């Protein structure tokens, strides 16, 4: 079984692409909606909350977890992989979304100029800059924190005229760097891809997390075929939230295009 964790609803966009690409596995999706968003929290808080989710999902029988949250990937993944898993969960693994997107961007960028749009915490961590430099030292990366975009998406305000003005303000100066590739460094931002594309122009490639992460995961599972077993005759999809399950279910219908029934859980038990 594969676990997919996000601070809220946005990771459902990644789950949707993973499920489409790899339909023959069992999945558990966990959204920490009660404590979302993570983007304005400290590194210590983000690590502790992510660790709680990791413990919960491994205890549910997962052997592999995807941190669909860019903020958790930036602030908690490395410590979890290097310090926590070897002692607490040997033989299991946690993967993030930043490295797959950095790899893809470095391969696709022609003029070596890349823009990253992300939450405050993701931008401040410098995780994308580090990963992109590891891929290609010649890459020039410019970041921009966009804290207003998550509430816009979660409140279904994508088509609001004010959203266009907010995007213009965020992107105006970035166009001066003449990027040819833009990384959407937050799962929610995928819902604004069309508007972001309009602001940058069609000559700029907008990288969305879902399809990139799904294809990278497919390659990973081909190389580690013994880590996670296929579902067999009956596939299972389990949806968990720390928040209001009715609100989560309504949002999931928007993100997934189908009706689901989630279960509310308490991660504080995993302190």
Which residues are part of the catalytic machinery? 69, 186
Which tokens hold the place of 157? Answer: 């305000």
Rounded Cα distance between 116 and 123, Å, is 8
Count of other CB atoms within 10 angstroms of residue 26:
19
Rounded Cα distance between 233 and 235, Å, is 7
Rounded Cα distance between 259 and 268, Å, is 28
For residue 221, the SS3 value is helix
194-227 b/e (C-beta count within 10 Å ≥ 16 → b): ebbeebbeeebbbbbbbbbbbbbbeebbeeeeee
Continuous segment of H or E residues that includes residue 241? strand 237-241
Partners of 94 in beta bridges: 65
Q: How far is CA 105 from CA 33, 47, 100, 152, 269, in A?
A: 29, 26, 9, 26, 39
Q: Which residues contact 199 (CB under 8 A, 6 or more apart)?
A: 167, 168, 171, 175
Q: Single out the residue of 86, 45, 8 nearest to residue 268, CA to CA.
A: 45
Which tokens hold the place of 149? Answer: 């975009």
């Amino acid at each position: 079984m594969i676990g997919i964790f996000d601070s809220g609803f946005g990771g459902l966009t990644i789950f949707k692409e993973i499920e489409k690409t790899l339909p023959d596995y069992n999945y558990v999706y966990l959204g920490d909606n009660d404590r979302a968003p993570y983007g304005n929290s400290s590194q210590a808080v983000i690590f502790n909350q992510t660790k709680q989710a990791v413990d919960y999902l491994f205890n549910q029988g997962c052997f592999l977890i995807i941190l669909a949250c860019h903020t958790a990937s930036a602030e908690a993944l490395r410590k979890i992989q290097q310090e926590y898993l070897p002692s607490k969960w040997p033989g299991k693994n946690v993967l993030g979304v930043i490295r797959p997107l950095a790899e893809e961007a470095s391969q696709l960028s022609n003029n070596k100029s890349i823009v990253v749009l992300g939450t405050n915490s993701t931008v401040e961590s410098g995780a994308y800059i580090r990963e992109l430099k590891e891929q290609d030292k010649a890459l020039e990366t410019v970041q921009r924190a966009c804290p207003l975009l998550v509430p816009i998406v979660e409140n279904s305000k994508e088509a609001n005229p004010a959203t266009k003005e907010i995007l213009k303000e965020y992107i105006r100066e970035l166009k001066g760097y003449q990027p040819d590739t833009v990384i959407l460094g937050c799962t929610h931002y995928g819902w604004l891809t069309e508007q972001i594309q309009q602001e940058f122009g069609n000559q700029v490639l907008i990288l969305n997390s879902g399809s990139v992460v799904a294809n990278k995961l497919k390659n990973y599972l081909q190389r580690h075929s013994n880590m996670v077993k296929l579902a067999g005759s009956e596939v299972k999809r389990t949806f968990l939230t720390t928040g209001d399950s009715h609100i989560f279910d309504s949002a999931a219908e928007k993100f997934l295009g189908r009706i689901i029934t989630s279960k509310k859980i308490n991660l504080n038990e995993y302190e």
